[in-house]
A and B are shown apart, each in its own frame.
Chain A
Amino acid sequence: MNCCKEKPIIELQAGQKLCKKHFTEYFEDKVHKTITKFDLIGKKENLGVAVSGGKDSLTLSFILNKLSKRNPKIKIEAIAIDEGIKNYRDKSLITAKEFCNKHNIKLNIYSFKEEFGMPLDNMLKVLDVKPCTICGIFRRYLLNKKSKELRLTKLATGHNLDDECQSIMMNQFKNNIQASARLGPKVGVKINKNFVQRIKPLYLCMEKEVATYAFVNNLLDEFAECPNVSKSYRAQVRDMMNGFEQKFPGTKYSIVNSFLHVLPGLKQRFKDEAVNYCMNCGEPASRDKCNACKFADKLNKAKDKALVKIKQ
């Protein structure tokens, strides 16, 4: 059934076909309902938006910027992390800068090179480690650290329903229930002053919906994928979930919605787990050293070895 006389651009799972105008309204309404239902944003916030220049973060920034204009007590600024992935991150950051400039959003950029001594591409030459592992650890470390320095009250990320579905399934396959306890529209098991609360306003939006919104609202020209993703475990789970969704529409929603029912119980179960602090940098850690410092140590040792080899 078509929404109106205008040409439809998307068909929802329930069968309704929406034109550009009505799809935009539907999508933005869904985001606002997610924010309200899960109490993601208060009446007064210094809200950070993690921006990469990709479709998810630009869509998120676009909608939150509109929200901020309607509610001046909700201030927003963008944070971007430059991991140093050649021909990917350099290009997307240009898009991020243009976008933030156009919409008058303050953009703070922090790089792996400045903070850890080398870009990710070089780290992968020196260390035998999965790209997404080290990238994720350093990126989350920087996002938290810099969010605190910027005195942000919350940090919004562009994680969508597909991302969450993949994470849920990955944790199930790897028997990592504690990791699942940290999932959800509000990340983490309990409030901790050393973690800037992360929120996911696009939580109930499918990846194809986000891409469609970004396309019809001309938010970016190119949809690029990180070159390191294709080798990852996540990519395999993603392809599996897309296969299921094609054959059995509604699978992804079902996985996430059923997970939301058990999530409060998971958070309750793990709420008393101790949070330690890294003896090196003071950031939260599961043991005496945080993962970022552990990898930084490995990196330094490997760099020294590499330098010795070259000198020899």
Chain B
Amino acid sequence: MQINVFFDRENKEKTIEVDENSSVKDLLGKMKINPVTVIVSKDNNILTEDEKINDRDKIKLISVISGG
């Protein structure tokens, strides 16, 4: 499956290849991103780690690490 991912911390959009039936957790694992550090959203709704993602989903990763 191909997932379109925008990561606000890097201000970049990428296409990530994952297996069929992958979850949010699998996607983050593929991208080597710690789930503790991001909120995952699709269409402005938060997805939990165990939720399945679909081919051509547009996902936004919002870094919770902010401030100074």
B8 touches A10 (CB 8 A): no
Q: How far is the CA of A215 from the CA of B35 in the complex (A)?
A: 16
B48 touches A11 (CB 8 A): yes
- Is A207 among interface residues, defined by CB-CB distance under 8 A? yes
Q: Which of A221-229, A278-286, A304-312 contacts B (4 or more CB under 8 A)?
A: A221-229
Q: Which 7 A-B pairs rank lowest in CB-CB distance, beginning with the nearest?
A: A226-B68, A211-B64, A9-B46, A223-B66, A54-B67, A208-B64, A245-B36
Interface residues of A in 190-230 (CB under 8 A from B): 207-208, 210-212, 215-216, 222-226, 228-229
Give the contact-size bracket for chain A. 20 to 34
Give the contact-size bracket for chain B. 20 to 34
A225 touches B66 (CB 8 A): yes
B39 touches A215 (CB 8 A): yes
- Is A34 among interface residues, defined by CB-CB distance under 8 A? no
B49 touches A216 (CB 8 A): no
**A9 proximity list for chain B (CB < 8 A):** 45-46, 48
Instruction: Bits for B32-65, please: 1 = Cβ < 8 Å to A, else 0.
Output: 0011110101000110111000000000001111
Q: A56-B67, A242-B34 are in contact. List 14 more A-B contacts (CB 8 A).
A: A9-B48, A54-B66, A55-B67, A158-B67, A208-B64, A212-B46, A215-B39, A216-B46, A223-B8, A223-B64, A229-B68, A243-B34, A245-B36, A246-B36
Identify which of B41, B45, B46, B65 contacts A10 (C-beta below 8 A): B46
- Which residues of B are in contact with A by a Cβ distance under 8 Å? 8-9, 34-37, 39, 41, 45-46, 48-50, 62-68
- Is A182 among interface residues, defined by CB-CB distance under 8 A? no
- Is A238 among interface residues, defined by CB-CB distance under 8 A? yes
**A55 proximity list for chain B (CB < 8 A):** 64, 66-67
**B9 proximity list for chain A (CB < 8 A):** 225
Contacts A10-B46, A11-B48, A223-B8 hold; do A208 and B36 have CB atoms under 8 A apart?
yes
**B46 proximity list for chain A (CB < 8 A):** 9-10, 212, 215-216
- Is A7 among interface residues, defined by CB-CB distance under 8 A? yes
* Chain A residue, CB-CB nearest to B44: A215
B49 touches A11 (CB 8 A): yes
**B34 proximity list for chain A (CB < 8 A):** 242-243, 246
From residue B36, how far is it (CB to closest CB) to chain A in Å? Answer: 5
- Is A144 among interface residues, defined by CB-CB distance under 8 A? no
From residue A158, how far is it (CB to closest CB) to chain B in Å? Answer: 8
A208 touches B67 (CB 8 A): no
